[in-house]
Amino acid sequence: MENLIQTIVNALGGAPKELIVFIISLCPILELRGGLIAASILHIDMWKAIPICIVGNILPIPFILLFIEKIFEWLKNTKLVKMIDKLEEKAEKGAKKIMEHKTWGLLLFVGIPLPGTGAWTGSLVAALFHFKLKDACLSILGGIVLATVIMCFVSYGIPFLVSLL
């Protein structure tokens, strides 16, 4: 992941550091976790990076929750059917774990930074499995907070723990 982040940082090298972190946080797969790693690489103060990464990670979520089913229906009538099938397959894999515990399962799925998890996939699962909008939003936001704490420790290490004291 760090190599991908470094490639993006290099490609956007002329842009302000904060904008680079924001763009990385918007991207599926990288999301907030990638944004915080990039912020650390770019020597952005953690407390400045956190809101940038959170906003970047949250921004796409309402669109995914509200429109993804309609977008998938439309795309199934195009040549992108295989891509949509793969995305739905990925959502179904994540859903098996999540559906056992619903709201808490979604929160943990979004919050624990493992490959294939995060707010994008969590939103996809919530939309395709018809979670109540309020429950989905609260779980995803809680997951983003959990991911922030974990990734601040991973990205900033001991200074993060000291700053909490």
Question: For residue range 102-136, what is the model confidence (pLDDT) as tens digits?
Answer: 889 999 999 999 888 999 999 988 998 889 999 99
CA nearest to 69, candidates 96, 94, 91, 100: 91
Instruction: Tell me what the pLDDT averaged over the chain comes to.
Output: 87
Neighbours of 48 (CB within 10 A): 13
The pLDDT of residue 139: 96
Local structure of residue 45 (DSSP, 8 states)? -
pLDDT at 58: 96
Q: Give the pLDDT confidence score for residue 62 in this predicted structure.
A: 94
Give the chain's residues under pLDDT 50: none
What pLDDT, on a 0 to 100 scale, did the predictor assign at position 49?
97
Distance, CA of 51 to CA of 157 (rounded, Å): 18
pTM: 0.82
pLDDT of amino acid 160: 61
Helices (H), the chain: 2-11, 17-26, 31-41, 46-58, 61-75, 81-99, 102-111, 119-128, 133-156, 158-164
pLDDT at 116: 82
Q: Which residues of 107-144 are buried (b: 16+ CB within 10 A; e: fewer)?
A: bbbbbebeeebbbbbbbbbbbbbebeeeebbebbbbbb
